[in-house]
Amino acid sequence: MSETTKGIQDAGVVACAKHYILNEQEHFRQVGESVGRGYNISETLSSNIDDKTMHELYLWPFADAVRAGVGSVMCSYQQINNSYGCQNSKTLNGILKGELGFQGFVMSDWQAQHAGVASALAGMDMSTPGDTVFQSGLSFWGANLTVAVLNGTVPAYRIDDMAMRIMAAFFKVGQTVEGLEPVNMDSWSLDTYGYLHAGVKDGYQQINWHVDVQSDHGNLIREIAGKSTVLLKNEGALPLKNPKFLAVIGEDAGPSPLGPNGCADRGCNKGTLAMSWGSGTANFPYLSTPIDALNQQAINDHTRIEAVLDNYATNTIETLVKQDGATALVFVNANSGEGYIDVDGNEGDRQNLTLWGNGDELIKKVSSLCNNTIVVIHSVGPTLVTDWYDSPNVTAILWAGLPGQESGRAIVDVLYGKVNPAARTPFTWAAKSEDYGADVLYKPNNGNDAPQQDFTEGNFIDYRALDKANIKPIFEFGHGLSYTTFKYANIKVEKTNAGPYKPTKGKTVEAPTFGNFSTNIEDYAFPRAIRYIREGLRGSRIRTNG
């Protein structure tokens, strides 16, 4: 998170660290999503945690982001110890702004704000998108925040603090009001012309200029995708050297029949998995699939190559892979994403840790017929490999994560040794899901009230959980092979004595006081020069200086 923050802000863009904090599952993060799926709850999930675990485990990425100078932090949907994340004074004022010294602004996730005064006093600085419910024309803040200041519920200095934090982040990344480039794209539409205010069909104009911003980013994406691939197993099968016959198996090797952007917000799992689903996705300008890149390499090498891109075409697959001299490349995946999308019954979170599309059975079938079976996994996290990883016919296993638009060319770079897969797995590969100790809460457990997710495991997640229970993993956290050979020798461990921890003392300066000011709300209305735009559904008014 630290390096990502630096990279974004070095480019003049305010980075946003999210989701703060304990947003560890998608189930029950919002009441509307949950009720729409038949769960009768009245409040969102509460992540319940002790102070020690909070500080020693979950806070660290945000501490790193603050140290890197992150300009904004997004508070999360769910509750923390039964207090909503965007109005939790302990986490926002106490830990983030107090202990960590965060000087940027806190913004809500979209519709994660549940109150006006409470969120302002707890430390939230920016409401996104601003309305209580999308396109309602109603807001917890707006005029309500003005009233709260006038009646003394919210101190005036809190408004100054909000504005100061927002503009400080803006100036920190090198932006100036005078130097801003005009907006030339609309993230909500692919059309060249449309409404500036689409929700109310106002201001028809050009909204997209379709600027090519790719530059040489594709080469960088290819490099990152290749170098971040983890080689979990290799019995001498890799790198490939002019193989005579490649049998490429699996839907994950090929393109989606709907195209790379055929499912809104990538909300499906068809073809090769290069990006997960959710509101943070972007459209692929192109997608290099594994079969595309493998075909090109085979042409260059005069290699015979055939592919079956249907996981359930059992007879055709058997006929292909049992031929003499075949090197089988099996591509499989497992996906997940943001909670508002349900893909094949996976409500954001994965239902289990098995491979999708019958992937495990596919690997077992191919490896039972071909003694040189290489497996490539595209997944959002660990999957269960217990039933097939140690087969002598499975000669190599690669985890390629979610590689992005250069997926195909990047994996070919690794398979043929153009790039050394020197990455390490950032999680443990356990033999069964129970070994991890903690799991997603899939069913409400508190009647109609907020589901309660108690983090009773404390710090013991992932490899810590297995160590505590003395469980041997299949592939350890940090495991990763490479195409080079090396050994360690003459290792020496030196003890360093850290000094005692001394907590800071003292108090901050007193809050400022303000003189008398008008309590007539009409004195705080928008200037007359600002044009009113009617909200279509309710007939309420939205004001804009656009």
| 524 vs 305: CA distance, rounded Å | 72
| 424 vs 299: CA distance, rounded Å | 32
Six-digit token string for 106: 């806190």
Peptide bond into 19 cis (omega under 30): yes
Phi, psi of 81 (to 5 degrees): 50, 45
Distances (CA, A) of 297 to 57, 374, 413, 420, 463: 45, 17, 10, 17, 38
Helices (H) and strands (E) in the chain, counts: 14, 19
109 given a catalytic annotation: yes
| 500 vs 503: CA distance, rounded Å | 10
Distances (CA, A) of 136 to 90, 119, 197, 274, 341: 30, 20, 14, 35, 22
Q: Are strands 531-534 and 346-347 parallel, antiparallel or unpaired?
A: unpaired
Q: Are 137 and 536 in contact (CB under 8 A)?
A: no
Look up residue 428 and give its DSSP letter. Answer: -
Q: Are 267 and 341 in contact (CB under 8 A)?
A: yes
Residue 36, exposed/middle/buried by CB under 10 A (0-12, 13-18, 19+)? exposed
**For the packed helices 407-415 and 217-227, what is the interaxial angle rounded to 10 degrees?**
50
Provide the greatest CA pair distance for the chain.
90
Q: Which helix (H) or strand (E) holds 17?
A: strand 16-20
Residue among 64, 109, 390, 435 flagged as catalytic: 109
Look up residue 339 and give its DSSP letter. Answer: T
In this structure, is the dihedral angle defined by the CA atoms of residues 229, 235, 241 and 245, taken in order, positive or negative? negative
Output the DSSP codes for 29-80.
Answer: SSHHHHHHTT---SS--EEE--HHHIIIIITHHHHHHHHTT-SEEEEPSSEE
Q: Are 127 and 106 in contact (CB under 8 A)?
A: no
Six-digit token string for 439: 């799991």
Question: Tokens 């303000």 — which residue?
Answer: 514
Q: Are 6 and 173 in contact (CB under 8 A)?
A: no
Show which residues are catalytic. 109
